[in-house]
Chain A
Amino acid sequence: MHDLLTGTFFWIALGICLTGMLVRFVLYFKGLSWQLDRVAYRAHPKAGLKGAVRSIYKWLIPFGTRGWQTQPFITLAFFGFHLGAVFVPLFLMGHVFFVEEKLGISLFTLSAAAGDVLSWTALAAGSLLLIRRLVLPEVRILTTWKDIMILGLSMAPFATGLLARYQVGDYGFWLNMHILCGEVLLVAIPFTKLSHVFLFFASRAQLGMDFGIKRGGMKGTKMAW
């Protein structure tokens, strides 16, 4: 089982994820239309690029925008969750060794302690996001079973990973579950709301270009849109 998960299944999951992301990313930008969107994307490349970079950069910084500043609770929960979700899969020592063995790519590694802190933070923040979703009327009205599933799916690799790490019960079982959850997550990325993993950059780049070219960027204003 372990060999299958780290062998064929891993390659299939990674292949689907990367191909899906690439295809959707290309399709997104191909589907932009200067006339339908009413943004002269090609006519002002410098202003567009500036706006796109600014828009992405501002929203990647905790409290970098008015949106983040006015809602500190979700900002903390959001960044708490996403820091773990980005750094742990990519840079945890076990993951780095695995990637090096499989793909021959060597990445920077997180210490085990940092990995623990980030994983626990992600689980705690994810739980807060789930509670917020169920408690606040303005979020509950938007919530569908898919949103709960996606959040659950995103938290599952952390939960199983920690269970394996602390060797609660059968280590081999939890390790396999952890790998399986990770692979299911990879496959889900291009086809679900998890596509925001990469479409966030596309969407923000588009709005950044919109503001950069048309809605004030060329007037020299620096809105954190």
Chain B
Amino acid sequence: MPEGIYCNKQTVDTPEGVNKLLSDTSGNTYYQEMEVLDVDTDLLWKTIQNTCKSRIRTWLEICAHCGMCADSCFLYEVNGKNPKQVPAYKIQSTLGEIIKRKGKVDNALMRHAMRVAWAECSCCNRCGMYCPHGIDTGIMFGYLRGLLYNQGFVPWELKIGAGMHRAYRAQMDVTDEDFVDTFEWMVEEYEDDYPGLTVPVDKQGADIMYTVNAREVKHYPEDLAEAAILFHLAGESWTVPSKGWEQTSLAMFAGDWAACKMQVESVYEAMERLTPKRMVGTECGHAHRATVIEGPYWAGRKDGQPPAPSIHYVEWLAEALNTGRLRVDPSKRIKELVTLQDSCNYIRNHGLKRATRDIMSHIVEPGFFIEMAPNKEHNYCCGGGGGFNGIGKFRKERNIALIKKRDQILETGAKLVIAPCHNCWDAIRDLEEEYEIGIRWSFLKPLLIKMLVIPDHLKPEE
């Protein structure tokens, strides 16, 4: 059973293991080794028998082959309506084939399935809304990813990502100390402008426990300060946990369910330790889905709910604006055409379309907010979802995938795109780099900070 040094069926659980994988530039050796990686067909079939039950088996069986899912898939559309990109075909020719052959498949089929699972489906779940039989291909691709991960057929970056969660409980090599230090340092930078601004770490019984995306700590730490400023201006009692602060889960993109459980339990432990009234997560779609929507199931919570009520940042912000705890100076509202990117992971997977539109009504001058078409739960994936953004091997395919969002944005005529999701934000940044359509993009926090009315008692002394 040839297993590579880099590409194998083992999980990566330590910083050393992560570093070893990282030392293989662009995963070149990793992918070479994958070409001869054996398939443990017994394990594959046993796993399927244990985990592929009624729902997925029935979906595969009753698919009427009507092709109504075709037009729902943005990847089918941007790839010249190639029939091989029809969702039903993609899943039948991969997972369907593996099950049909009772797991007796070869290396070539597994590598093909890997390509389809990560480069031809972003698990955006849009097709599920267009199937008369209620077949959600995105869910099936999530399941297939788990089978592939288990056998070592996973893109290099996502093996690293899952390893990061295992080693650091974060999607990047950000330690708990790095997180607290960075947060405190960033808040210090702003305390002259906002007297009394602090970052309360490990405060018991606060109204809000705030969790973040490790990318903020590593790459855009000002986001941490902005969150602190907005909580401060809204007069919130809040805290961040020194452990269990990372809400994301690249392990979910990788299909490493055991790592998903480890990751989400670290956040739940923080909730149980600090007993906040609620948890608020940052502007990230997949993080919300991982921690709030799917996480309870990984952690074995029968009610499907996290230990404390948990909301996405857009829900908190809409609430703060609607209740007047944050007030926008009308003269500072956005007075240019602006559009909004709906993140699949909290629109189609948690129904949060109203909160974002409430926010728009507060921050955009009437007449300047232009909806994308289609929008809300029918919106298209940004083009980089489900891990697509981060996989070098499939960069060409990802760049093609961005075309749908590019065209949607162009149709609105807006030059500013609001993207309250890290993944969408990255994809929109990349599409501007790739296609240069002359747009700007932003999270909500920096926009809000510029337009809020600061209560007199929170203003700095002259």
| A interface residues, Cβ below 8 angstroms from B | 27-40, 42-44, 55, 59, 65-68, 70-71, 74, 78, 133, 136-144, 147, 193, 195-196, 199-200, 202-204, 206-208, 210, 213-217, 219-221, 223-225
Contact = CB atoms under 8 A, between A and B. Distances in A.
Contacts of A67: 68, 72, 129-132
Given A39-B304, A40-B303, A215-B350, A142 B92 contact: yes
Nearest to A142: B65
Contact of B350 (A44, A138, A193, A216): A216
A31 B53 contact: yes
Contacts of A221: 351-354, 377
A66 B130 contact: yes
Give chain A's interface secondary structure class: helix
A214 B293 contact: yes
B135 interface: yes
A195 B305 CA distance: 34
Interface of B: 51, 53-55, 57-59, 61-68, 70-72, 76, 81, 83-84, 86, 88-89, 92, 128-136, 293-294, 296-297, 300, 302-305, 348-354, 377-378
A74 B131 CA distance: 12
A142 B61 contact: no
B54 A28 contact: yes
Contacts of B294: 38
A78 B304 contact: no
A145 B60 CA distance: 17
Given A59-B132, A68-B132, A138-B76, 16 more contacts: A33-B54, A40-B302, A66-B130, A67-B68, A136-B67, A142-B88, A142-B92, A199-B133, A203-B55, A203-B58, A203-B134, A204-B134, A213-B304, A215-B293, A216-B351, A221-B351
Choose among A55, A67, A224 the residue with the greatest number of B CB atoms under 10 Å from its CB: A67
Contacts, number: 161
A74 B67 CA distance: 10
Contacts of A202: 58
Contacts of A42: 302
B68 A74 contact: yes
B351 A37 contact: no
Contacts of B59: 203
A199 B58 contact: yes
User: Which of B66, B131, B294, B377: most chain A Cβ within 10 A?
Assistant: B66
A118 B296 CA distance: 49
A193 B64 contact: yes
A225 B128 contact: yes
Contacts of A74: 66, 68
A35 B62 contact: no
Contacts of B53: 31-33, 36-37
Contacts of A43: 302-304
- 3 cross-chain pairs, A with B, having the tightest CB-CB distances, nearest first: A216-B351, A31-B54, A40-B304
Nearest to B376: A223
Nearest to B54: A31
B293 A35 contact: no
Contacts of B354: 221
Contacts of A31: 53-55, 57
Contacts of A144: 65
Nearest to B86: A138
A34 B297 contact: yes
A36 B51 CA distance: 7
Nearest to B353: A221
A198 to B, nearest CB: 10
A40 B129 CA distance: 20
B67 A138 contact: yes
9 contacts: A31-B53, A32-B54, A36-B53, A38-B304, A59-B134, A142-B63, A195-B62, A206-B134, A210-B136
